[in-house]
Structure 1
């Protein structure tokens, strides 16, 4: 019996088809992976470029801020660690009294004379009461008292001093000065403290 042509050539055709398929796969394998790989490399390079521009700069700023911070002291665990530390030599005596404000002026270091444009004036007239005991004893005279009126118009009681004394009349003059309130002296618009001397006259005719 004569065999059909397709049956005779079946194996040959299978081989040819397999060869064509394999050849096609090989061509695709070598052709398309190269394109995909090149695209991946391009995308990776582009992504790396973005990271270099947008991420590195904030990191540099953080490093600058971090370097400006003072170091935090850490307690040493052992005495040997303390011995290995280097401390700067500090001369404590050279500091002196940096924060100490200058002492307020006292009666000993105040100037004897201060220039002013407007003299201090008492808010009320100073009229010490003539003691009855002094009147009965017939004592009269002039008491001169020096004192300091500061820039607030307040009399420094420690500065009160009798320059000319009448023993029976001195205390009433001192009391009158201690209770007095003043409008301070001025240099232009600036208030200043000044020394004053004030006489108090006592006569029996009054």
Structure 2
């Protein structure tokens, strides 16, 4: 068996390689020891300052309702008065005797209402001479009522005196168109037998209808 060359024998340089390895290891250890690998303290950290937002406390306000002010008193306005008041001299005599008799004013007399001088119902009522036909024959139909086509009854109230004559005729229900005036005219010309009460003629209140009817 062929032996290796002496140049290729690694055991020859074993001691050299061992020393170099030890030196290199020692150098790495020294360098590692000298390097400061400690971390910074927590206080040495530099942080960006954050913006501090202050929250304002909102105070809830309560609205106080104030009562309305009282109305202002009316301002008196001076009104000119042109009326001149005359001074009245009152004579008060100190010699007035309290024992004197005072004259009392006369008592007021109540006004008596005039009694009606006519009757409404009597023993014998007035009687129209000739009946209602005597009044109807005396009627002249008013032209205004004829053109307007007015028809109906006009009631007239009046007084029949002791002589049988008509006094104070009044229309108590009319139809207009001139018929009321014509009814009063016809009634004023009527004649009656007077009403009788206890055998003597008296004034009696009476009423009559006057008919107005157009002839076709």
Which TM-score band applies after superposition, normalised by the shorter structure?
Answer: 0.3 to 0.5
Please give the TM-score of this superposition, normalised by the length of structure 2: 0.40
Please give the TM-score of this superposition, normalised by the length of structure 1: 0.42
Report the structure number with the largest CA radius of gyration.
2
